Amino acid sequence: MKIRNFLILLWLGVAGCVSDAPRDNPLDPQSDRYAPVGTLSGRLLIRNTATGVASAEIIRVSDGLTVRSDSAGFFSVKELPAGMQSFIAVKSNFPNDTFSVSIPAGGTATIVREMNSAPVVTMKQIVTHKIDYVEYFPRYYVTVSASVTDPNGITDLSGAWFAVSTYRFPMEYSPTTKLFSVTVEKDSFPTNSIEWLINKPLTIVSTDGQGATNVSDPFMVTRIIENTAAPITQDTTTGTPLFKWKPPAVSFNYTSIITVARRGTETTVWKYAGLLSFFEELQYPTDGSVVPLSAGNYFWTITIVDDFGNTSRSQESYFTVK
């Protein structure tokens, strides 16, 4: 009996202590400090694809709490206060995506968000050109080309521009080359000269159908070739002329292109490219595969091309085939 009474008293003492224990754990539903929490689990996808947005930052608006998506675009934010929470998904070349989600107490909210990517410029180039004429002032112009794609699909691209300073020149897309390109004459620039472009940062600006914009890394003019080779004139010749020229006074590496055209129609009848810089003459035809030139009036030019594609063409040299 004594043992039984002792156990009863012991139980009552323990029960009293338990009932008086403080309830200050925020995870205890009976605590005055109870703050229900939940989890956000999600995935970020590139719009119109099944590809995840890797290494994006998901930032809680209220306090800047930040997590990153994994290589497949998945992310998780734990111990979030239950209720409505707002976030911003941030990734380079993607417009920010702001969204709100209700976090269930003790549960998990699962979402999938699509992010719109701006276009991506994978290649850009500017090439300078000079053409000398016998009867006109030289022509100076540049050609600019760029390869632009869009992670959302090529049909999402809406346009591309060559940009320098405050100037923008619209570029046209060629399905054949799969490049955007534009030709800009010297009088389109403030000083009426392509030299205005030297040392200026040039960019390609592209946009998509959702209004997202990409500005490429800057690129530069590499060279403007003022000097070129000079044809040695011959008034009359046979149908197999020997073309001779004086090399240009330049120190850089280059190749040459010989072009023969009919005078009057300007129709090209023969072209030979890839001549190394040490050549100073070329026999037509070079290998016997081309028939001799027929009687008539012609002109020929020589164009030098540097390693960047910049060109400078000579004046026309007129000759007659008897």
Q: Give the CATH number for residue 315.
A: 2.60.40.1220
Q: Are residues 210 and 246 in the same domain?
A: no
Summarize the confidence of residues 206-231 as an average pLDDT.
96
The DSSP-derived string for 165-204 is TTEEEE-EEETTTTEEEEEEEGGGSTTSSGGGGTT--EEE
pLDDT tens by residue, 171-183: 999 999 999 999 9
Using CA atoms, how far apart are residues 20 and 112, in angstroms rounded to an integer?
46
Query: 3-class SS at 154?
Result: helix
Q: Are residues 244 and 266 in the same domain?
A: yes
Average pLDDT taken over every residue of the chain: 91
**Consecutive H or E run containing 13:** helix 2-19
Q: Are residues 134 and 85 in the same domain?
A: no
Residue 126's closest CA among 138, 111, 144?
A: 144
Using CA atoms, how far apart are residues 219 and 202, in angstroms rounded to an integer?
5
144 lies in a domain? yes
Give the angle 274-280-284 at the CA atoms, nearest 5°.
70
Using only C-alpha atoms, what is the Rg of the chain? 37
310 pLDDT exceeds 90?
A: yes
Residue 305's closest CA among 229, 219, 194?
A: 229
Residue 32's pLDDT is 54
pLDDT tens by residue, 182-199: 999 999 999 999 999 999
In the structure, what pLDDT confidence band is assigned to residue 287 with cuts at 50, 70 and 90? confident
Q: What is the domain extent for residue 238?
A: 230-321
The DSSP-derived string for 211-239 is --EEEPPPB----------EEPP-SEE-S
pLDDT tens by residue, 20-45: 555 555 555 556 556 799 999 999 99
In the structure, what pLDDT confidence band is assigned to residue 113 with cuts at 50, 70 and 90? very high
Q: Which amino acid is at 180?
A: F
8 lies in a domain? no
Residue 252's closest CA among 277, 272, 270?
A: 277
Q: Are residues 245 and 298 in the same domain?
A: yes
Token pair for 44: 């970020």
9 lies in a domain? no
φ and ψ of 84, to 5 deg: -75, 130
Residue 317's closest CA among 251, 254, 267, 244?
A: 244
pLDDT tens by residue, 134-152: 999 999 999 999 999 999 9
Question: Looking at residue 90, which CATH number applies to its domain?
Answer: 2.60.40.10
Q: Are residues 235 and 174 in the same domain?
A: no
Using CA atoms, how far apart are residues 249 and 193, in angstroms rounded to an integer?
22
Residue 73's pLDDT is 98
Asked whether the whole model's pTM tops 0.75, one would answer: yes
Last-in-domain residue among 99, 115, 131: 115
Do residues 87 and 100 make contact, with C-beta atoms less than 8 angstroms apart?
yes
214 pLDDT exceeds 70?
A: yes
Last-in-domain residue among 115, 131, 163: 115
Last-in-domain residue among 97, 115, 133: 115
Handedness of CA 101, 102, 107, 110 (dihedral sign): negative
